[in-house]
Amino acid sequence: MTEILTVTLNPALDLATSTPGVVPNRKLRCGPETAEPGGGGVNVARAITQLGGKARALVALGGPTGDALDSLLRDRGLEVLRIDAPGETRHSFAVTDEATGAQYRFVLTGPTWSADQLDHMLDQIDAQAAPDAYVVLSGSMPPGAKPGFIPQVCAHLGARRVVVDTSGAHLEVQATGPKPAPHVLRMDSHEAQALSGLPLDSRDESAGFAETLRQRGAGETVIIARGADGSVMAAPNGQWHVTAANEGVVSAIGAGDSFVGGFVMGLADGLPPQESLRQGAAAASAAVLSEGTQLGLPKDYDRLLPMTKLTRL
């Protein structure tokens, strides 16, 4: 298996709880809380590890919250490469309204990085990643990293295969095709609609836009998630669709990161992109069956993988 290194520069200690109803201007009594390590790259590494794969997690941590998150990661069997963050690790929390089932997610801001700190961090990634590694850059970019940071990472890491799943201004810049391109660029349907200015109602439309981004140089392979309708992919070997195997949604937290974990795990095992796409779909479908931020269980993943259907578009 080729090495997988996930990078999380703005991790969070994720708290999840529930309350009978979410209403304004009242003190809301909550049920028991769970605490899980969070952040895009952290969740990708957790998903891979939970599903029986192997990934190293490079995580920027700071202060007592960072210490608590570090302990949780190691308790879950992750190989953690800890680097110093420029400030205290953030919290995020999710509250489920028991009356409606609606989930409210609150994400706090992390510490701000200077240009020198970002350069030093890239040197640390360079020192840790094998020459042929998959390097997963997932989640929000840290405050202080300007749009255009992703191609900077790709240039610094050279031949490593960078997998990117981000949002906001960083995704907008990446969609313009700055060089060098990451190995894989993934986004959800809402992000793709905003970038294209189109509704992208059908699979073919989503796949066509993914191919437009690929031809533009946004990524060597581009994946667009379509929620309950699965995901489409534009790759050098064609356009593909994979169904989701959802049996209902308990919690959507970590589903996208689980997809990335399953997909990259397939690539690292030597599977072609389309078969790796099925692994990503099964991992995401397993994740939504788990409460809070617990991600997918191996038994669910193994059961759901044969239920995914791959189609060449």
Among residues 70, 165, 257, 300, the one annotated as catalytic is: 257
Give, in degrees to the nearest 5, the angle at Cα 262 between 300 and 249. Answer: 45
How far apart CA 108 and CA 302 sit, in angstroms, is 34
Q: Is 257 a catalytic residue?
A: yes
199 burial type by CB count under 10 A (0-12 exposed, 13-18 middle, 19+ buried): exposed
Q: What are phi and psi of 78, to 5 degrees?
A: -80, 145
How far apart CA 192 and CA 210 sit, in angstroms, is 8
Structure tokens at 72: 């949780």
Report residue 307 CA to chain centroid gap: 23
Give, in degrees to the nearest 5, the angle at Cα 200 between 197 and 203. Answer: 155
Query: What is the residue type of 87?
Result: G
Cα-only R_g, the chain: 19
How far apart CA 101 and CA 106 sit, in angstroms, is 16
How far apart CA 34 and CA 94 sit, in angstroms, is 10
Pairing of strands 238-242, 184-188: unpaired
What is the layout of strands, in order, in the sheet containing 184-188? 79-84, 56-61, 4-8, 134-138, 161-165, 184-188, 221-225, 231-235, 238-242, 310-312
21 burial type by CB count under 10 A (0-12 exposed, 13-18 middle, 19+ buried): exposed
Active-site positions read 257
